[in-house]
Copies of this chain bind each other. A is one copy, B any other.
């Protein structure tokens, strides 16, 4: 039940419509929390009835009108309470690891297919790392005295960068291991 809280953080950083939130969940926020627009709209309505967020109608020219959402005091209070609660142990779902262990029960052709798949997966993560590094250069160019918000956003981004580097190194290890099985 943390999508509510991820939305609260996003709205505190910058009020937005459901559509804009969805796009941010596809980009920067999507690094650590994913959600579809359908889910976001549904949760926003629930949060509205709970008094966590308020909407402001924005009429637009040349494009559809929208509702700009902001975090309400009750939402801020809910966020504070949540920050004090213990972090829930994460539910790990790492499909690739299952496939790698499953490769022990595949024939050489099946393992060859997995090698191709791992290479594609590796390329995706290499591209992701490049995007993170470009974002870091763009958004955090100087090291000196950032405000709290920027410092915290930066440390989360550094986590994403460290994760991608670790994944790339591990995937190289996986590829060496897979290729060694059939020479």
A-to-B contact residues, CB < 8 Å:
2, 5-6, 8-9, 12-13, 30-34, 76, 79-80, 82-84, 86-107, 110, 113-114, 117, 120-121, 124, 148-149, 151-156, 158-159, 162-163, 165-166, 169-170, 173-174, 177-178, 180-181
Contacts of A79 in B (CB 8 A): 102, 105-106
Q: Which of B86, B91, B94, B152 contacts A93 (CB 8 A)?
A: B91
A and B contact pairs by CB, cutoff 8 A, 26 listed:
A5-B99, A6-B98, A30-B92, A32-B92, A32-B98, A33-B92, A33-B94, A33-B97, A33-B98, A34-B92, A34-B93, A76-B105, A79-B106, A83-B99, A83-B102, A87-B121, A88-B95, A89-B124, A91-B93, A97-B156, A100-B156, A101-B152, A101-B156, A104-B152, A151-B180, A155-B173
Q: Which of B86, B90, B100, B153 contacts A152 (CB 8 A)?
A: B100
Q: Which of B32, B100, B105 contacts A97 (CB 8 A)?
A: B32
